[in-house]
Amino acid sequence: MTAFVFSGQGAQVPGMGRDLYEKSEKAREVFELVEKVIPGIKRLCFESSKEELNETVNTQPCVFTVDLAAAYAVKEAGIEPESVAGFSLGEIAALAFAEVLEFEDACRLVSKRAELMHKDALEKRGSMAAVLGMEKEEVLYGLKGYESIEAVNFNCPGQIVVSGREDEIERYMADLKKNGKKARKLSVSGAFHSSFMNNASDKMGEYLKSFNTQKPKMDVYSNLTAQPYPDDEKGIKENIKKQINNPVRWEETIRNMISRGIDTFIEVGEGKVLCGLIGRIDSSVKVFYYTDILNQDGGKSTC
């Protein structure tokens, strides 16, 4: 059984998606449809500078667009997944692909999500860092001395991301280094998936009241619960709302997918971050980057 996994914020690079646009008819259709709802998306993806692309209000719509373009290009190549999951922002693309959200609604939603999170990030200056080579319990225990820092992304064995005030993140990373531990600062503009995003989460809940949702066409695994999304509208909206200010339970999500029969994962979107994480979670499953499929590499993974 196959699952598509949709890349999240942080995967963005200047020129992203141009190859897809030029080579895949279905990908081109996605770009043109998004362009109608979010004018300028093609310019942002293809021509913007790194600095412009790294602004959350630009990053999220661009990553969302390339995620969906890659997914439909793989579908165009003849592969359809039984399940989908998206990392953070990627979950909105997964919901659109599974037709939980109408395409135009998903475009509007991702733009609003970006706007709200960008605003919270400006008002509450924060950052994120990936803690490497430490167990969950060790990370959680070590955070007790830091007022603002929260563990927010449980990515894979030996990689947990923390969010907090910028100055405290810097101090925390320096303290880890003194103790022979490693951490890497992430290229994001705020303390996402933490209480720093409470206001954005609340406002997203209000915004969602005007949206209609549909029962998922396939299992969409939730960052919030690490389980498939519920079928009912209230449950779907609650997951979308709370996903903004709660941890991403990625390792648990992948393990749950594998336990239910998924043995092949295809990362759709920019970069190969999820390929790497899944390989560390369970090396027995097959993991492909979407270009492996489009380039017909005979089943050989470049992840």
Q: Is 3 helix (H, G, I), strand (E, B) or coil?
A: strand
Catalytic residue, from 7, 83, 88, 194: name it.
Answer: 88
> Which has the closest alpha carbon to 92: 7, 210, 206, 189?
7
**Residue 299 in domain:** no
Number of structural domains (the chain) is: 2
Residue 127 annotated among the catalytic residues of the structure: no
**Residue 207 in domain:** yes
Instruction: Report phi then psi at 149, rounded to 5.
Output: -85, 135
Tally the residues of the chain.
303
Burial state string for 39-70 with b = 16 or more CB within 10 A and e = fewer than 16: eebbebbbebeeeebbebbbbbbbbbbbbbbb
- Please check whether residues 18 and 117 belong to one and the same domain: yes
Share of the chain above pLDDT 90, in %: 83
> Which has the closest alpha carbon to 239: 21, 128, 88?
88
pLDDT at 5 (0 to 100): 98
**Residue 301 in domain:** no
- Please check whether residues 37 and 173 belong to one and the same domain: no
Task: Please write the tens of the pLDDT for every residue from 88-102.
Answer: 999 999 999 999 999
CATH code for the domain in which residue 237 is found: 3.40.366.10
pLDDT at 302 (0 to 100): 67
Domain-ending residue, one of 136, 161, 185? 185
Beta bridge partners of 132: 159, 182
For 174, counting Cβ atoms within 10 Å of its Cβ (0-12 exposed, 13-18 middle, 19+ buried), the class is exposed
- CA distance linking residue 8 with residue 200, whole number of Å: 18
Mean of pLDDT values over 98-112? 95
**Residue 44 in domain:** yes
- Please check whether residues 28 and 165 belong to one and the same domain: no
Q: Read off the pLDDT band of 298 (50, 70, 90).
A: very low
CATH code for the domain in which residue 171 is found: 3.30.70.250
Q: Is 79 helix (H, G, I), strand (E, B) or coil?
A: coil
Catalytic residue, from 48, 127, 193, 194: name it.
Answer: 193
Stated as kind and residue range, the H or E segment containing 179 is none
Strand residue runs (E) in 107-181: 126-132, 150-156, 159-165
Task: Please write the tens of the pLDDT for every residue from 2-50.
Answer: 999 999 887 788 999 999 999 999 999 999 999 999 999 999 999 988 8
299: pLDDT strictly greater than 70: no
Mean of pLDDT values over 203-209? 95
What residues contact 110, with CB distance under 8 A and at least 6 apart?
A: 60, 61, 64, 89, 92, 93
Mean pLDDT of the chain: 93
222: pLDDT strictly greater than 50: yes
> Any idea of the CA torsion for 66, 108, 163, 303, to the nearest 10 degrees?
-20
Residue 88 annotated among the catalytic residues of the structure: yes
- Please check whether residues 157 and 283 belong to one and the same domain: no
Mean of pLDDT values over 204-220? 95
What residues contact 164, with CB distance under 8 A and at least 6 apart?
A: 126, 127, 146, 148, 149, 150, 172, 191, 194, 196
**Residue 175 in domain:** yes
Task: Please write the tens of the pLDDT for every residue from 227-280.
Answer: 999 999 999 999 999 999 999 999 999 999 999 999 999 999 998 999 999 999
* Token pair for 166: 């910028």
Mean of pLDDT values over 205-215? 94
Rounded to the nearest 5 degrees, what angle is found at the Cα of 30, between the Cα atoms of 26 and 35? 145
Mean of pLDDT values over 56-69? 94
pLDDT at 297 (0 to 100): 54
Burial state string for 134-162 with b = 16 or more CB within 10 A and e = fewer than 16: beeeebeebbeebebbbbbbbbbeebbbb
- Range with lowest mean pLDDT among 43-57, 140-154, 274-288: 43-57
